């Protein structure tokens, strides 16, 4: 007997990608809320980048990883 696994269909792959995207969006939203509590205004750009504002200064974060790194620098707990 050979046990062959079926390759996922395109609908299954699409569903898995959407679930991953939704989870990623939830984590990003939580991090943005945590930064807001500390007084930082975070703007999501169209190209998956973020701009953070506080005290008349701004910081551009080219992706979510950069936003997480900056959040940990400014004191957001569990940003890693």
Q: Give per-residue pLDDT as tens, 6-25.
A: 665 656 556 665 655 666 77
Domain boundaries, the chain: 11-73
Can you give the pTM of this predicted structure?
0.67
| Of 16 and 73, the one with more pLDDT | 73
Look at residue 25 in the predicted model and tell me its pLDDT.
79
Question: How many degrees, rounded to 5, is the angle at CA 25 between CA 17 and CA 61?
Answer: 115
Look at residue 77 in the predicted model and tell me its pLDDT.
79
């Amino acid at each position: 007997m050979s046990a062959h696994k079926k390759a996922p269909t395109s609908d299954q792959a699409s569903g898995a990608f959407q679930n991953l995207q939704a989870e990623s969006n939830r984590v990003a939203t939580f991090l943005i809320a945590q930064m807001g509590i500390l007084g930082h205004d975070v703007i999501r750009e169209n190209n998956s980048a973020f701009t953070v504002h506080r005290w008349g200064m701004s910081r551009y974060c080219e992706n979510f990883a950069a936003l997480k790194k900056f959040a940990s620098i400014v004191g957001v707990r569990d940003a890693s």
